[in-house]
Structure 1
Amino acid sequence: MKKIFKYSILILSISILSCESYLDVESFDKVSDDNVIFDKASSETAVRGAYRSLASLNYSSGFQNTILQSGGDVRSLNNAQTDLNIINYDLRSDIGFLSTYWANFYNTINRANHVIQKVPSVNDLKLTTELRNQLLGEAYFIRAFSYFDLARVYGGVQLFLTPTTIAADKLGVPRSSQAEVYAQVIADLNLAESLLPSTVVRNRATKFTAYALKARVHLYQNKFAEAEIDVNNVLANSGYKLIKPFNLAAGTTESVLEFSYSVNDINSGYSLWNTSNRSLEPKAVLHNLLNDPTVGGGRKILSVKNAAGQFIGGIYPTNISTAYAIRTAELYLIRAEARARKTSPDLTGALSDLNIVRERSGLVNSTAVTKEEILLAIENERRVEFALEPDRWFDLVRTGRAKTVLNITNPDKYIFPIPAGERLADPSLSQNPSY
């Protein structure tokens, strides 16, 4: 994957509301690529490498580009054939970026697996039980994050829970179903939750980060009561709350998990929106929604019109802007949807959560009344709240709304094809239907 994308080493700047000693580690720009784990320092380095991989590979500009275009509100300025494949929902298994994403996810998973396997047996008095547990919890979280994205992109995938060192280690392993992968994600998050500290840290996993990702996964599993409980566990902490007016700012209570960058390690997503050769722009319909004071409110800063009349996405104002993996606003909207969809709906609670997000953006309360109206209002709120983040495609697929909104008549197209190169290397790896 490094032959295709040349990414710098991720610097995860520390933004904390706690001064726990376990964060007293050397700079995050010192990361080794090897998997030798034998003492406290190498254990910490291995975890940093896994974080770097999660941010620079899993959350790459290419991945964001593909998912954003799939969501229908953003258009490519390149007019490449692969862009046409994306927007026509006609992907081919031999398209190069599909192999890149697949490899990137598994690279991150393998890094996490090395930590999970090797850190428990490290014999170093400096590696305290508290720190050992934290590092293992972070590795379980990173593996869960990666498998969740793999499953929602490709459907059922192979589960590797131990490190692979040679290609043969991966051969002949059958694909697990998407439901089985989601179940493994929850299992990993439960382990992470039991090991991680109860602190507020924006750029590393804690118990609250694990709760937040569990809420997202439970929503995909239609386990709405569980998702509500997960969100309650996070929002009970005052370290997570919305700030008025709307503003995406690093290290604030609006952020649950973020990826940070520097002049030596730029955010590759910046090039999608802001350079002279930018790749993407918001479509007119999205720009108009964001700039409608009754819909976008303060979120109008996400799409502005330049002197040439072009729409410029404002998600990454600079090339060192933070990328947000989980935001507090998402938790409110997850809980709103969970409350509306659970067996005994709590429509009052759902509206309350929806209106908290709306009020933060300078909007009046929603006029939705019925369950169906409230769910549509939540869908529309997510559309503008996460307008330039890779969410809408997944939202429309998981709610069964992709056919109506995107006019995708073949539900097989809701997941991407297994890369041809992977199947060539391992003939036992089956293809998704219709590809």
Structure 2
Amino acid sequence: MKRLYYILLGLTTLFCSCNDWLDVTPKTNVEEKDLFKNEQGFKEALTGVYIKMSTTQLYGREMTYGFIDQLAQRYFNNENLETDYDKITWYTYPSTRTQTYYETFWSSDYNLIANLNNLIDNIDKRGDVIHTAGYKDIIKGEALGLRSFLYFDLLRMFGPIYKDNASSPSIPYRTHLNRDVAKLLPASVVADSIVKSLKQAETLLENDPMNIAFPSYDDDSSTDPFLKHRFNRMNKYAVKAELARVYMWMGDKVNAAKYAQEVIDAKKADGSKRFALITDNAQDKVGSTELLFAVNMDSQTFPSRVKSEFMIAMWNKYIILGDGNRLDKIFDTTVDGQNDMRYKDGAGFAIGSNGAYMLKYTQSGLYSPVLQNTMPLIRLPEMYYILAECTDDLAESADLLSIVRGARGLEDLQPFANESEKLYNIEKEYRKEFYGEGQLWFFYKRHGYKTFQFCPIMNMTEARYRFPIPDDETVLGNVN
């Protein structure tokens, strides 16, 4: 994949479509000197990254509800029964089942990082052409935040189980666009670099206007389109939430809790909560007031794709539950009952005699058009789960989980008896809350689970969790 590091020399590769939420049109194959000659060019360069992130190969499917969630055993289809060998190949690298996915993640993410590095270099050299007050900081802050977000997911996929092997060579970390051979850096060095970059983004986004309001019908003509719907952008609180995630991965519970609490405590100008847990998902299935960061999907293809991929009648290879008992086990209904809105028929799932399928991304009946075609990447409940994991007080941990459970229609938890019971309940809430969002697999990896619910392997080694560096990266000399 030699092209990853050379494709952008002298030009910036952007992407052809444009999402409704941003009033700019990205271009393809634009000469760098022309693209960055004015403010609009910087907007277009940034827009291209968001659009590429929303493709099915990345966060539009495979890194959210697709391949990554399949690894966490979220789906099962009775019409496509797998042999024991077939099940194990999901955790074999390379295999004919897995190789295309992880090689695409590697190539696409590093292509996006190259674009972002090019943008950041140019904003430092040519940023004086950005004349709108505050825009230079916002564009650079978003670019640094996005680059960190992508690097962290690469580290989570291609790096070691951090708590066991933080010094292991993991991935290259580039901050400039050049031809230099990139070294595989220790996971701890990459994580420290991500934190440093996120803190730079945090400073630059300090004055982020955070234009988010629900319900919203997009009738505020006084707001610059570039600054609307900040939940669809790498905003100041998305950066703080990502810092909480990264610190949690590193085992730094003090800083993880600090940033998670800052997000939870965020206030609007009137003193009300900036983000709030929803208590009804009948029309608000992605959790509008919980969205810290989401990407906007292609409005021409996403609604029809959701219908075709999540309907039982279609019997896709995966992403449905052909066994209703599996859904009951995921939500532990024998203990927690069936009142959880994330589970309930017609709300969280459509449940029938043939099984069940998720309704989270259903596009009909939404109470706000701004929520259409939304793919959540970071949501508020994760901040409560991080706090629950960070505290040593077992009663406080149960209370923090109960805040989210209560919003979802479940009873409060009693104080945990020990750390093992605490972790089990946190894992169970990740199972319920982030179905179709790709986060459960990384929870299992962070803790180095030897096995997990429905896992076909009883001894999950690091090699089962860790995607390998694509062969041609090392053969062609791009990394060493």
TM-score range, shorter chain: 0.7 to 0.9
Structure 1 SS opposite 2:275 = coil
1:426 matched to 2:477: yes
Report if aligned partners of 2:324, 2:351 keep a CA contact under 8 Å in 1: no
- Give 1:185 shift: 1.3
What SS does the corresponding residue of 2:171 show, helix, strand or coil?
Answer: coil
Deviations 1:232-281 (A, max 9, x none): 11111211110112465468211111112353353797354248363421
Letter of the structure 1 residue corresponding to residue 431 of structure 2: R
Mean Cα deviation higher: 410-419 or 244-253: 244-253
Match of 1:216 in 2: 245
Partner of 2:162 in structure 1? none
Q: Could you tell which deviates more after superposition, 289-298 or 198-207?
A: 289-298
User: Given residue 327 of structure 2, which amino acid in structure 1 is its aligned partner?
Assistant: H
Q: For the structure 1 residues 187 and 129, does the alpha-carbon distance in structure 2 shift closer, same or farther, using more than 3 Å as the test? A: farther
Identity, in percent, stands at 23
SS in 2 for 1:58: coil
Deviation at 1:85, TM superposition (A): 6.4
Give the CA deviation at 1:354.
0.4
Q: Is 1:242 the counterpart of 2:293 in the alignment?
A: no
Q: How does 1:307-386 map to 2 (within 5 A)?
A: 309-318=354-363, 321-339=373-391, 345-372=392-419, 373-386=421-434
- Is the CA contact 1:54–1:146 (under 8 Å) kept in the aligned structure 2? no
Give the 5 Å matches for 1:184-223. Answer: 184-196=193-205, 197-200=207-210, 201-223=230-252
TM-score, normalization by structure 1: 0.83
Q: Decide whether the 8 Å contact of 1:258 with 1:325 is kept in 2.
A: yes
Q: Which amino acid aligns with 1:393?
A: W
**Take 1:377 and 1:280, find their aligned partners in 2: how far apart are those partners?**
24
CA deviations on 1:382-413 (whole Å, 9 max, x unpaired) are 11111222111111111122446532343322
Deviates more, 1:322-331 or 1:52-61: 52-61
Partner of 1:263: 299
Pair 198,379 (structure 1): closer, same or farther in 2 beyond 3 Å = same
Counterpart residue type for residue 114 of structure 2 = N
The 1:158–1:259 alpha-carbon spacing in structure 2 relative to 1, beyond 3 Å, is same
CA contact (8 A) 1:199 1:206 kept: no
How far, CA to CA, are the matches of 1:47 and 1:75 in structure 2? 38
Q: Is the 8 A contact 1:291 1:297 kept in 2?
A: no
CA contact (8 A) 2:244 2:255 kept: yes
2:82 and 2:289 mapped to 1: Cα distance?
39
- What is the rounded CA distance, in whole Å, between the counterparts of 1:330 and 1:324 in structure 2? 12
Counterpart code for 2:408: S
How many pairs were matched up?
A: 400
Structure 1: gaps spanning 5 or more residues: 2-6, 14-25, 340-344, 430-435
Q: Does the 8 Å contact 2:292/2:378 carry over to 1?
A: yes
Which range is displaced more, 89-98 or 414-423? Answer: 89-98
Aligned to 2:19: 11
Q: Which moved more, 1:315-324 or 1:32-41?
A: 315-324
Q: Quick check: 1:261–1:267 contact (8 Å CA) kept in 2?
A: no
SS in 2 for 1:369: coil
Opposite residue 319 of structure 2, the aligned amino acid is L
C-alpha change, 1:125 and 1:99, in structure 2 (3 Å) is closer
C-alpha separation between the residues in 2 aligned to 1:8 and 1:334?
38
1:281 aligned residue (320, 340, 355): 320
The C-alpha deviation readout for 1:35-70, integer Å capped at 9, x for no partner, is: 532210101111111222233253142333221111
Q: Which residue of structure 1 aligns with residue 144 of structure 2? A: 140
Say which SS state the counterpart of residue 63 (structure 1) adopts. Answer: coil
Give 5+ residue unaligned stretches, structure 2: 2-14, 160-169, 211-229, 267-272, 365-371
Q: Relative to structure 1, is the Cα distance of residues 322 and 428 closer, same or farther in structure 2, using a 3 angstrom cutoff?
A: closer
Taking structure 1 as reference, are residues 204 and 128 closer, same or farther at Cα in structure 2, changes over 3 Å only? same
Counterpart code for 2:471: A
- Cα distance change of structure 1 residues 31 and 251 upon mapping to structure 2, 3 Å threshold: farther
Q: Aligned partners of 1:251, 1:386: CA distance in 2, in Å?
A: 12
Q: Structure 2 vs 1, CA of residues 158 and 273 (structure 1 numbering), >3 Å: closer, same or farther?
A: same
Which residue of structure 1 aligns with residue 349 of structure 2? Answer: 303
Q: Which residue of 2 aligns with 1:62?
A: 62
Could you tell me which residue of structure 1 aligns to residue 122 of structure 2?
A: 118
Q: RMSD across aligned C-alpha pairs, in angstroms?
A: 3.0
Q: 1:413 and 2:408 equivalent?
A: no
User: Alpha carbons of 1:311 and 1:58: their partners in 2 closer, same or farther (altered >3 Å)?
Assistant: same
Q: In terms of mean alpha carbon deviation, does 244-253 or 347-356 score higher?
A: 244-253
**1:27 aligned onto 2:27:** no
Q: In the alignment, what sits opposite 1:173?
A: 182
Question: Relative to structure 2, which stretch is displaced further, 384-393 or 257-266?
Answer: 257-266
- Residue 180 and residue 350 in structure 1: after superposition, are their counterparts in 2 closer, same or farther (change >3 A)? same
Query: Is this contact kept in 1: 2:241–2:260, CA < 8 A?
Result: yes
